[in-house]
Structure 1
Amino acid sequence: MRRLLAQLVSVWCLAMVVGCSPSTEDNGEKVLYLPMETAGPNSLDPVKGSSQYDSRASSYVYQTLLQYKYLHRPLELEPLLLTEMPEVSEDGKLYRFKLRQDVFFHDDECFPEGKGRRLVSEDFFYSLKRMASKKNQPKSWWLMADTIVGFDEFKAEQNEANEFDYDAPVEGMKILNDHEFEIQLKEPFYRFTYTLAMFQTAVVPREAVEHYGKKFSRHPVGTGPFLLKEWEAGSSMTFVKNPNYWEETYPNDPGLNKDGSEPYLGYLRDKELGFYQDAGKKLPIIDRVELKMFVQKQPMWLKFRIRELDYTAVPAENFSEAYIKRTQKLRKEYADMGIRSEPVPLVDLIYYGFNMEDEDFGGYDDRQKWLRQAISLAIDWEERNEAFYNNLNGIYDGPIPASLAGHPKNGSLPYAYRGPDLARARKLLVKAGYPEGKGVPKLVFFTSRAARLAEMAEMSKRHLAKIGIELDVRLVDFSTLTDALRNRRAPFFGLSWVSDYPDAENFLQLFYGPFKSPSSNNFNYDRPEYNKLYERIRVMSPSSERTELYEQMRDMVIEDAPMIGSMERTRYFLINKRLQNCKPIESFKLAQVPQRQIAEISQEPINRCGPTLSAGSFTTFPSSWRLCCW
């Protein structure tokens, strides 16, 4: 503990020196300094990415056909690489697309004479086909499985062949010319347009993939507003402005509706905050993005306090430093410095999961279910919420978050297995043949080595010890965790899922049998009755009938207990005064803050001497450090 305290003090002392160094923007560049709460993304290859970290880093370089309107709430799709929204047939199965003709790939040595070429229809089809190749180890095939006419057959044939032929035709993919194409769906899939805004469907050039081979994941070439200049693994990433970026502009001010109402929720507040001051301005507005990695949250928090980061999510252990806990109002010392607070509700799922193929804790017979249900009843989510999240998170039964159809009323179901209920847990252990936990094998638990997650794991270890079950905690880096899941080697694990799009289907697909690891179903849950229901709802439009099916599937997951949960977060962002146009959102993985839009930087340098939240604020060690160290 003393060593950790010494490390924190060292970081603080170093930060104080850096805080009085000359401005890093003396050369006139506009530079954005941002944190990433991890050791970094696993890959910048869209087909290999799956986490929000992969999504965020990829979005600087790559682009999709569609995106979410930056300022609009509720979120609404709009064209990005397209000239207009897709034209859809009356039966909802045929989509026609028109690409912009002014979009070029980055200049790169993979192209003749190093000059990036224009984006064409074939590029999108090639990018989709990469999702079908098992050699790419894609995490995203679930997005296209059983969706496009002939695509599943193409996948099977090419993966059986000696060499994957990207030029082979797919019945449901038709190129009309170099900027127009059609896609024929098997059924009118409601979520299809949402997938076209996800980073996994971003467009990549074939020349770059073939030129760089295995190195492509670290040498991205896209159409986006920034180029990757430097990537120091586990430390930082630097992105620089694309000098040949196409003519994308900052959103125009829509004005009030004719009846005087807002064109979208929160429009008047956006006007007041100056979010339309750059209306019509060519993007990107800034010259460089410095993305810093923080496995531990305290160094990140200190960097923000001395104004070396432009914004940060407030660590739970520091919430009372920045906010009055009773009112959740920003403290005066922060507000007086022009720091702005933005609470953002996440549509997400925090959970523990079982590998249903594990010989000790998986399976579908009653004894195996009773064991998992007992473990679920031992976990105290309320204690976790209080200790690590200041009681700001929502706790609910099942896998469907609060804002989506199928979520239980008031978040609670009387037949769920939410702990703590130790008496009920012990009865289930007796039924399963493990009185007082005797005979239960050691439960091996994989989780990230981040400090707070390690503390959470120790809390859960204590919870399970109360019913006689030993938790063997394996703290690993995030890439090792995802590898263990991909290869089905993690008997028990802790994860979260942030929604890709605003529909409960996105959470229910996590339990669909054909999507087992290495796809999105890390539980490897595979119940035929559930699979049949999923195959029905995935082609249905919103309706009361679909909601009833959602509820049936939710209850099936609760009863079989492949997961323990759930919890959803509200994330509190603090935004430095000099950063303008910043409207954080984390609901959907490619609806992260679009850096090309937010980053109007005032002339105030990032790390000048003067009023800061530094020395005066640390006359004593904050209580959160005590929480961290002891």
Structure 2
Amino acid sequence: MAVKRRRLLQASLAAGLMPGMAPAKAAAAQAKVLRYAFVVAETGFDPAQLTDLYSLTVTSHIFEAPYGYDPLAMPPRIVPLTAQALPEVSADFRVFRIRLRPGTFFADDPVFKGRRRELVAADYVYSWKRMADPAVKSPSWAAIEELNIIGLSELRSEAQQLKKPFNYDRPIEGLRAIDDHTLEIRLAQPRPRLVQTLAQNDRMGALAREVVEAYGTDIMAHPVGTGPFRLTRWRRSSLIVLEKNPGYRERYYESEPAKDDVEGQVIAATLRGRRLPMVDRVELAIIEESQPRWLSFLNGEQDFMDRVPPEFVNVALPHGTVAPNLAKRGIKLTRTLAADAVFTFFNMQDPVVGGYTPEKVALRRAISLAWDVEREIRLQRRGQAVPAQSQVMPYTSGYDPAYKSEMSDFDVARANALLDLYGYKDVDGDGWRELPDGKPLEIAFATQPDSLSRSYDELWKLSFARIHVKLKFVTAKWPENLKSARAGKLMMWFLADTAVQADGAACIQRLYSRQIGNRNMSRFEQPDFDRAYERLQLLPDGPEREALFLQVKRLQLAYMPLKTHVHRIIPDLMQPWVVGYRRPLFRYEFWQFLDIEPH
């Protein structure tokens, strides 16, 4: 009862009412608010400068790419967003023409001086050029470079070589605004799946040039897009508040779930025709530790529980269903096999675990074999995962659920035999192996100072003890580890990746040599892999492409630059008043597709 009274008081105050005023009027004015928590702090909200999931979750609701996804369709289906229709594509997949929908406007901002600012094709040209600007230092540049947009790399090189400001005004053949509502992209090589890149709001959304130039280095705090929400409050690493964009165009809920998708059909029938977005405000707290995040959901302070913490899976979901005490309260569950992969990378340039000679490959493969994936799933993840056989993720091209590899094997005897065979002996009799040249062998493993990371550290200790290899942990906050990983300063690190599109080639981009310093944290460089990856970009889907996927999976296994552990099953919980949630697969964009019932 205390929680209900507090929430009623908060609603009254939010509506500008004082306690004691007419309750009917207070209820009528109550805003629909979605509240939940991030487990990691954001970094900012400029699409060109971001890589972390949490910041990109926010930008995906502020900015809009030309295309998006049907919120319920399985398999995922791309639909027009700011575009009028799917692109007109040349037969060789090198020319794409996109016609934009007139009447799409940026959210109001003081930079516009009171006038409505319409989205035009030149805004996409400018926004995508920004990722090529050396001064922006965009981590997305490597992915944009792979598209081979004619003239864009040359424009970047000119700025770098002449040490001049990037020339945004110079026309290039590969990115042109034919008119205000027609955009043309020309590529040097075929890209049959380019439309998947153009369906990423978080990175490929349009910015207005005058906004970027007005806010300068503070642009991370001033995201102004055409999307359904706008940022209204930001307390770094603590609170993010977004409100419905009052100038958002007329857009209504529509979806075409599969006919045998019972849940999807119910959601579609319930929400069809409602104007988007349906919620008025989104409040995001930052709660890094699992227990306070879990308690805040139980106490009704959060409407949505993004990923039930592993420590509480058995309490919340005994036997895979909602616990009776939670079910009585109307709390709802969704469980999704995610398009993701949990992995540990080895720094291939490190003198201890790196290198391509047989003894270095043997060390990495022995470490992989000493890790008990089934135990990770059973104990750490409470059954909420499946073993992974490669870095290619579920629901993406190249993923085969029947494919089995050594990646998921647990074989301590074989691991020790490998190390013995390649000269990793206990020379001094202290119980720990040395390097083949007799020098000390010690693995420095990066980790974080939170309880979940510490629980995995215990499993790593056991894993390394099985093969008699010394292990030490190097502890830092997650963003610091990310920075160090990109700089090649970590020997090993354990983390996860989520697919951003349905093309499986994007999953294995982590092993492409031109991504070293960005996504390729293992700094893996292997000519056969690179050639296969580049060929994957050119081919349409089909048997020849599937054969290449098999080749890159085998190369990952042969050299073991990273050990892929599992694909996670993600349980999310919702309060009974949350309507329409389904976890997205290739982007984390869902706020506008939810409604909040009176409660």
| TM-score relative to the length of structure 1 | 0.86
* CA distance in structure 2 between the aligned counterparts of 1:363 and 1:115, rounded to whole angstroms: 59
Tell me the residue number matched to 1:370: 362
SS of the aligned residue for 2:47 comes to coil
In the TM superposition, residue 527 of structure 1 has moved relative to its aligned partner by 0.7
Whether 1:280 and 2:273 are equivalent positions in the alignment is: yes
The amino acid of 2:205's aligned partner reads A
In the TM superposition, residue 267 of structure 1 has moved relative to its aligned partner by 4.6
SS of the aligned residue for 1:243 comes to coil
* CA distance in structure 1 between the aligned counterparts of 2:74 and 2:348, rounded to whole angstroms: 38
In the TM superposition, residue 458 of structure 1 has moved relative to its aligned partner by 2.4
In the TM superposition, residue 350 of structure 1 has moved relative to its aligned partner by 0.3
Tell me the residue number matched to 2:6: 21
The amino acid of 1:596's aligned partner reads Q
The amino acid of 2:441's aligned partner reads P
* CA distance in structure 1 between the aligned counterparts of 2:196 and 2:390, rounded to whole angstroms: 23
Tell me the residue number matched to 1:228: 231
Moved more, 39-48 or 446-455: 446-455
- Rate the CA distance shift 1:369–1:307 in 2: closer, same or farther, 3 A: same
- Rate the CA distance shift 1:362–1:573 in 2: closer, same or farther, 3 A: same
Moved more, 555-564 or 329-338: 329-338
SS of the aligned residue for 1:292 comes to strand
Aligned-residue sequence identity (percent) comes to 27
**C-alpha contact 1:174 1:183 (8 A) present in aligned 2:** yes
Tell me the residue number matched to 1:395: 387
Tell me the residue number matched to 1:173: 175
The amino acid of 2:280's aligned partner reads D
- Rate the CA distance shift 1:461–1:226 in 2: closer, same or farther, 3 A: same
**C-alpha contact 1:377 1:425 (8 A) present in aligned 2:** yes
Moved more, 498-507 or 466-475: 466-475
Tell me the residue number matched to 1:499: 499
In the TM superposition, residue 568 of structure 1 has moved relative to its aligned partner by 0.4
CA RMSD in angstroms comes to: 2.1
- Rate the CA distance shift 1:22–1:347 in 2: closer, same or farther, 3 A: closer
Whether 1:423 and 2:413 are equivalent positions in the alignment is: yes
Tell me the residue number matched to 1:68: 69
SS of the aligned residue for 1:281 comes to coil
The amino acid of 1:104's aligned partner reads F
Whether 1:201 and 2:204 are equivalent positions in the alignment is: yes
The amino acid of 1:594's aligned partner reads F
Tell me the residue number matched to 2:300: 307
Tell me the residue number matched to 1:108: 109
- Give CA-to-partner distance per residue, 1:525-569, whole Å, 9 cap, x none: 111111111111111111111111111111111111111122001
* CA distance in structure 2 between the aligned counterparts of 1:101 and 1:278, rounded to whole angstroms: 26
**C-alpha contact 1:37 1:296 (8 A) present in aligned 2:** no
In the TM superposition, residue 387 of structure 1 has moved relative to its aligned partner by 1.2
* CA distance in structure 2 between the aligned counterparts of 1:271 and 1:534, rounded to whole angstroms: 38
The amino acid of 2:274's aligned partner reads K
SS of the aligned residue for 2:217 comes to helix
Paired residues for 1:200-599 under 5 Å = 200-251=203-254, 264-272=258-266, 274-312=267-305, 313-325=307-319, 328-407=320-399, 410-413=402-405, 416=406, 418-436=408-426, 437-438=433-434, 439-517=439-517, 519-585=518-584, 587-588=585-586, 590=587, 592-598=588-594
**C-alpha contact 1:582 1:593 (8 A) present in aligned 2:** no
In the TM superposition, residue 60 of structure 1 has moved relative to its aligned partner by 2.3
| TM-score relative to the length of structure 2 | 0.90
* CA distance in structure 2 between the aligned counterparts of 1:25 and 1:475, rounded to whole angstroms: 42
Whether 1:36 and 2:37 are equivalent positions in the alignment is: yes
- Rate the CA distance shift 1:578–1:361 in 2: closer, same or farther, 3 A: same
- Rate the CA distance shift 1:361–1:171 in 2: closer, same or farther, 3 A: same
**C-alpha contact 2:276 2:593 (8 A) present in aligned 1:** yes
In the TM superposition, residue 380 of structure 1 has moved relative to its aligned partner by 1.6
* CA distance in structure 2 between the aligned counterparts of 1:79 and 1:197, rounded to whole angstroms: 9
* CA distance in structure 1 between the aligned counterparts of 2:173 and 2:440, rounded to whole angstroms: 52
SS of the aligned residue for 1:330 comes to coil
In the TM superposition, residue 359 of structure 1 has moved relative to its aligned partner by 2.4
In the TM superposition, residue 188 of structure 1 has moved relative to its aligned partner by 2.5
- Give CA-to-partner distance per residue, 1:272-294, whole Å, 9 cap, x none: 3x543342232222211111112
- Rate the CA distance shift 1:68–1:402 in 2: closer, same or farther, 3 A: closer
Whether 1:184 and 2:186 are equivalent positions in the alignment is: yes
In the TM superposition, residue 29 of structure 1 has moved relative to its aligned partner by 3.4
* CA distance in structure 1 between the aligned counterparts of 2:568 and 2:259, rounded to whole angstroms: 21
In the TM superposition, residue 52 of structure 1 has moved relative to its aligned partner by 2.0
How many residues are matched?
569
**C-alpha contact 1:29 1:287 (8 A) present in aligned 2:** no
- Rate the CA distance shift 1:567–1:417 in 2: closer, same or farther, 3 A: closer
Tell me the residue number matched to 1:613: none
**C-alpha contact 1:67 1:197 (8 A) present in aligned 2:** yes
- Rate the CA distance shift 1:603–1:247 in 2: closer, same or farther, 3 A: same
* CA distance in structure 1 between the aligned counterparts of 2:111 and 2:252, rounded to whole angstroms: 28
* CA distance in structure 2 between the aligned counterparts of 1:548 and 1:139, rounded to whole angstroms: 30
**C-alpha contact 2:578 2:596 (8 A) present in aligned 1:** yes
SS of the aligned residue for 1:21 comes to helix
- Rate the CA distance shift 1:408–1:85 in 2: closer, same or farther, 3 A: closer
SS of the aligned residue for 1:239 comes to strand
* CA distance in structure 1 between the aligned counterparts of 2:223 and 2:138, rounded to whole angstroms: 16
* CA distance in structure 2 between the aligned counterparts of 1:418 and 1:268, rounded to whole angstroms: 34
* CA distance in structure 1 between the aligned counterparts of 2:184 and 2:103, rounded to whole angstroms: 20
**C-alpha contact 1:395 1:411 (8 A) present in aligned 2:** no
In the TM superposition, residue 427 of structure 1 has moved relative to its aligned partner by 2.3
* CA distance in structure 1 between the aligned counterparts of 2:465 and 2:134, rounded to whole angstroms: 41
Paired residues for 1:607-618 under 5 Å = none
In the TM superposition, residue 406 of structure 1 has moved relative to its aligned partner by 4.1
* CA distance in structure 1 between the aligned counterparts of 2:323 and 2:484, rounded to whole angstroms: 43
In the TM superposition, residue 143 of structure 1 has moved relative to its aligned partner by 2.6
* CA distance in structure 2 between the aligned counterparts of 1:277 and 1:425, rounded to whole angstroms: 55
- Give CA-to-partner distance per residue, 1:4-31, whole Å, 9 cap, x none: xxxxxxxxxxxx9656524232322324
SS of the aligned residue for 2:227 comes to coil
Tell me the residue number matched to 1:8: none
* CA distance in structure 2 between the aligned counterparts of 1:172 and 1:29, rounded to whole angstroms: 49
**C-alpha contact 2:385 2:566 (8 A) present in aligned 1:** yes
Tell me the residue number matched to 1:603: 598
In the TM superposition, residue 418 of structure 1 has moved relative to its aligned partner by 4.3
Structure of higher RCO (CA pairs closer than 8 Å, 6+ residues apart): 1
- Give CA-to-partner distance per residue, 1:218-273, whole Å, 9 cap, x none: 22111111111111222211111211112222216x6xxxxxxxx6255543343x
- Give CA-to-partner distance per residue, 1:371-413, whole Å, 9 cap, x none: 2112212222222111111123111222223444544664522
- Rate the CA distance shift 1:196–1:350 in 2: closer, same or farther, 3 A: same
- Rate the CA distance shift 1:183–1:25 in 2: closer, same or farther, 3 A: same
Gaps of 5+ in 1: 1-15, 255-262, 605-630
The amino acid of 2:385's aligned partner reads N
* CA distance in structure 2 between the aligned counterparts of 1:100 and 1:447, rounded to whole angstroms: 47
* CA distance in structure 2 between the aligned counterparts of 1:310 and 1:133, rounded to whole angstroms: 40
* CA distance in structure 2 between the aligned counterparts of 1:59 and 1:87, rounded to whole angstroms: 25
- Rate the CA distance shift 1:417–1:84 in 2: closer, same or farther, 3 A: closer
Tell me the residue number matched to 1:49: 50
SS of the aligned residue for 1:276 comes to helix
In the TM superposition, residue 140 of structure 1 has moved relative to its aligned partner by 1.3
